[in-house]
Amino acid sequence: MRKELDEALCAKYPLIFGDRHKPMTQTAMCWGFSCGDGWYNIIDTLCGMLTSKYRQAKSRYDYLAESGVGGILYGTKTVTQEDLDKAKANMEEEAAKVPVAVQVKEKFGGLRFYVQAATDEHYNYISFAESMSYRTCEVCGAPGERYTDGWHQTLCEVHAKEDGREKNEDDEDDGDE
């Protein structure tokens, strides 16, 4: 994946990609995003889902903190220190649950998004994103399908033609079932 897209993902999701520049003895994220630019939107959307609860908790805390103790919310409620503490604790709790990526790459024509630990909900999002990659051209992001002649790759018709790829006739199962 090209540098600008790599940097954009790291800047947008620091909790997920905090290990991007750690040494290879600690994480495979040091290699960056080992897949084509065409999967940028899938990864971006996935990370949006993985951080959605944290972002909700953060915007609630930010809102309360801005009002400050004694501030008036919704025209009636007065913000207390307890409200602030609770919102902060909730935000920190959600931040701790955001999965940290250890490797993002292409394998057998599909996206692999490996994390240190995650909830079942997170694993469902990851699984959905990986399934979408088998239907999305890795080069340009257009609808595509997996080619299995030689090395496996998921491509749109244009990029398959460019590479001289041929569809396997017996390729009914796309490997994502």
Residues that bind Zn ion (CB under 5 A): 137, 139-140, 142, 156, 159
Q: Which is nearer to Zn ion, 117 or 142 (CB)?
A: 142
| Minimum distance of Zn ion from residue 48's CB (angstroms) | 23
Report the residue number, 51 or 154, with the smaller CB distance to Zn ion: 154
CB of 166 to Zn ion, least distance (A): 16
Separation CA 83–CA 65 (nearest Å): 10
Residues 6 or more apart in contact with residue 63 via CB below 8 angstroms = none
CB of 29 to Zn ion, least distance (A): 26
Is 91 or 139 the residue whose CB approaches Zn ion more closely? 139
Closest by Cα among 151, 148, 150 to 167: 148
Nearer to Zn ion, 32 or 144 (CB): 144
Q: How would you classify the pairing of strands 101-107 and 153-155?
A: unpaired
Shortest distance (Å) from residue 39 CB to Zn ion:
11
User: E strands of the chain, at which residues?
Assistant: 33-34, 72-73, 77-78, 101-107, 110-115, 145-147, 153-155
